[in-house]
Amino acid sequence: MMENRSRNYAGTFNSEVIKWRQIAAKIWSIVFIFFFILCHSVTANLDLLNNFSGILTGFFGNLFYLYFWSYSSIILIIFWIMFMFNDNLFRVSHKVYSNNFEKLLQIVYSMNMVCILANFISTLFISSMLLQFYESKEHLSLWYITSFCAFSNLVYKLKFTFNGKYLLNWPIIEQPKYCRFKSKVYKTALNTVKSVFYNLILWNIFYFGSGLVGTFFGLTEESQSLFSTWIVCLKLSFLINFSHAFSWDLYEIYMTEIYHFNVQPIDASDLPLATAMSLNSHPYIQTLSLIDFADLSIYSKARRNQIFSLNFSNQPVNWNKISNEALNVIKDFMEVFSFDDMLHGSDKQNRQMDEVVYKRTGVLSPMRDLASPLKSPIRKAHLNETYVIPAKSPMKLTKSLDQHVNSFGFKFTQSLIEKLKKQKYFAMIYKENVNYKTQQLFVDSFLVINALKGLSNMTMASLTEDEYGIVQQNLSDIINTFVNLQKVVEKFNKTSPSGSVSFRILQKLHPDQIDLYIQKLTFVLNESIYKITHTFGSSLRSLSLDQDVMRRLQKYQLKQ
C-alpha cells in the first residue's frame, strides 16, 4: 500500500515538475542553437574586406531561404534527440570507483557508451549539414572536417563522462536562472575553445602521421588551402561542442532549481514536504525536498509558521513528520558505519576477502533502496542470500563466493594486476583510489548537510516563532543525533572536529569530489551544534543529555 502511494506521488511529480523542467531546458537549448546556425550561415561566406556591409542583410535574408530551414530543421532534430540522453544519464548521487579501469568498464557497459557513440555518429551528420552553407567547398577537405568534428566530439563526451559531469551541481545560494547561466557561459566557451585547439593538434598528428587514413579518405597533405580547412574545422567543432556544453549547463540550471513543496497537502495527489523527504527510492525528489527544507528554514517565515502550527487535535503533526524524516536521513547515514569493523579492520589475512565482500555487496547509503521507500532499509539491504552476517564479526562468504575467490582465473587476474601496478606508467593510468571505502560511505553527504541545515535553523527560529514549544519535545533527540554524527565523522576525517573549512574552498566544490564534501559536512555539523548551543545557552542543561554530550557542548562555549 505504501509502495503504491509512493509510486503515485513520484509519478505525479515526474509528469508535473520534472518533465516540464527537462522540456523547458531542451526548448531553450534549441532556440540558442538555432541562433548559432543562423550566425554560421551568415559568416560561412563572409568576406570582411568586401562584404562587411552585408552582414545584417544576410542575417535576416537567410530566414527567407528554403534550404536554410531544411538544413536547420534536420540539425535541430538531431540535437533534440541527443539531448534526450540527459534525461536518463543525469545523477544526483555520487559513484565511487576503486580505480580508473573500473570506471572505464562501467562507462563501456552502460548507457553512457550508447550516448557517446550516438553523439559521434550524429556529429558526422551535423557537420556535413553545416558545410552545406558554404557556397564554394572545392578548397575544403570535407572528409577531413567532418571526421575531425566527430573526433573532437568523441573526445569531449569521453572526458565529460569520465570526469563525472553528469552529476548535478547544486548551487550554494539560490540565484535567478539568467544569473546562473550568465556566470557559466564565459567559462564554458573558454574551455571549449581550449579543448578544440588541443583536439585539432591531436587530430593532425594522427592524420598526417598515418598515410592509410589519407589514402582512405582520398586526402593528402597537399590539400588546397589547408589553413582555410583548419579554420572551418575549429569553427564547426566549436559550434557543435559548445552547443552540447551549454545545453547541459541549461539542463543543470533547470534541474537544480529549487522547488517549494507544500507543507500541508492541498489535495490527495499533492506531494507534501514530509512525504517527499521520505522517498529515498527517488533520490532526485528527496534531494529537492531536503534543499527546500534547508531553504525555508532560513528565508520563509510563513512556511516555518506552518510547520510550527498545530492541527485540529492540537498535535504538532507537521513538525513531527518533517523533523523525524530529517533525523531519519541522518540516522540512516550513520547506520552504514556499523560495518566499520569490516572496512577498517586490522586483520591482514581477511583484508583481501573484505574487499571482495565490499564490492559484491555494494555498501552504499540506504537512501537507494527500491523495496521500501518510506523507511530505512539498512537492516535488510545487506541481507543477501549469498552472505551470512554474524552479530559480532565481519560478513563471511558462503561456498559459492569462496569458490569464485579461489578460482584460477580470479587469482591469475589479481596477480597480473598487482604486477602491472608496479610499473610506473601503468600505475599512472590505473590510478587506484586509496580512499575508496571511505568515499563509498560518504556518498550521501549532501543529503545529510541539508538535513543538518534545516534542523539547526528551525531550532534557532523556534526560540522566537514557536509559540507552543513543540521543538523542545525532541530537542534532545536532535542534539544527540548531531553529536553521534560528529563522533562518526571524527573517525574518518583527519582534521579536528572543531576545525573550520575555507568558504572559498566550499564555493569551488566540485560535485564529484567526495573528500571535500566530508570537509563540508564537518563544517556544517560544527556550525549546527554551535547555533543550537548559542541559541539556548545554559537552558540545555535541563534536557536529558549524557555527560559526554554535555562535554562536547562545552567546547562550543556553552553559557554557565
**Domains held by the chain: number:** 2
Our measurement of the distance from residue 427's CA atom to the centroid of its chain's CA atoms, rounded to an integer in Å, reads: 27
* CB contact at 8 A, 188 and 242: yes
Task: Answer yes or no: is 360 within a domain.
Answer: no
Distance between CA atoms of 435 and 214, rounded to whole angstroms? 46
Burial of 445 (0-12, 13-18, 19+ CB in 10 A): buried
* Residue of 212, 117, 220 whose CA lies nearest to 161: 117
Do both 169 and 45 map to the same domain? yes
Task: Answer yes or no: is 560 within a domain.
Answer: no
Task: Answer yes or no: is 395 within a domain.
Answer: no
Do both 83 and 167 map to the same domain? yes
Do both 283 and 203 map to the same domain? no
Task: Answer yes or no: is 485 within a domain.
Answer: yes
* CB contact at 8 A, 468 and 311: no
Amino acid, single-letter form, for residue 35: F
Task: Answer yes or no: is 229 within a domain.
Answer: yes
State the Cα torsion 183-185-189-195 to the nearest 10°.
Answer: 70
Distance between CA atoms of 180 and 118, rounded to whole angstroms? 29
DSSP per-residue letters across 197-225:
HHHHHHHHHHHHT-HHHHHHHT--TT-TT
Tell the residue number behind the cell numbers 558462503, with chain if given.
398
What's 262's DSSP letter?
A: B
0.85 surpassed by pTM: no
- Examine the fold and report which residue of 256, 283, 299 is the final residue of a domain before the chain moves on: 256
Give pLDDT, residue 154: 94
Task: Answer yes or no: is 264 within a domain.
Answer: no
Give pLDDT, residue 389: 34
Give the count of beta carbons closer than 10 Å to the beta carbon of residue 234.
17
Task: Answer yes or no: is 391 within a domain.
Answer: no
Distance between CA atoms of 188 and 244, rounded to whole angstroms? 10
Give the count of beta carbons closer than 10 Å to the beta carbon of residue 530.
16
Q: Which three cell numbers stand for residue 464?
A: 522566537
Burial of 233 (0-12, 13-18, 19+ CB in 10 A): buried
Tell me how many degrees the CA angle 517-519-524 measures, rounded to the nearest 5.
90
Do both 508 and 463 map to the same domain? yes
- Examine the fold and report which residue of 256, 288, 313 is the final residue of a domain before the chain moves on: 256
Do both 212 and 319 map to the same domain? no
H or E element, residue 314: none
Q: What is the mean pLDDT of each run of 10 residues along the chain (560 residues)?
A: 64 87 94 91 65 52 76 94 90 80 82 91 93 77 89 94 87 81 90 94 82 49 67 93 94 93 80 89 91 93 92 87 93 75 44 37 35 35 35 37 54 69 66 73 86 94 90 90 89 52 48 70 90 87 84 72
- Examine the fold and report which residue of 256, 286, 320 is the final residue of a domain before the chain moves on: 256
Do both 147 and 281 map to the same domain? no
Do both 278 and 248 map to the same domain? no
Our measurement of the distance from residue 445's CA atom to the centroid of its chain's CA atoms, rounded to an integer in Å, reads: 12
| Domain, as residue range, for 532 | 273-342+379-386+434-555
Do both 161 and 196 map to the same domain? yes
Task: Answer yes or no: is 323 within a domain.
Answer: yes
Distance between CA atoms of 518 and 494, rounded to whole angstroms? 10
Do both 44 and 122 map to the same domain? yes
* Residue of 27, 114, 42 whose CA lies nearest to 79: 27
Beta bridge partners, 262, equal 272
Give the count of beta carbons closer than 10 Å to the beta carbon of residue 230.
16
396-397 and 387-388 strand pairing? antiparallel
Please state at what angle helix 142-162 crosses helix 226-255, rounded to 10 degrees.
30
Do both 53 and 179 map to the same domain? yes
Do both 209 and 298 map to the same domain? no
Distance between CA atoms of 320 and 522, rounded to whole angstroms? 26
What's 324's DSSP letter?
A: H
- CB under 8 Å, gap of 24 or more: what pairs does 507-510 form? 507/172, 510/169
Give pLDDT, residue 290: 94
Task: Pinpoint the alpha helices (H) of 218-278.
Answer: 226-255, 273-278
Distance between CA atoms of 495 and 115, rounded to whole angstroms? 41
Distance between CA atoms of 83 and 522, rounded to whole angstroms? 37
Distance between CA atoms of 237 and 151, rounded to whole angstroms? 9
Do both 44 and 97 map to the same domain? yes
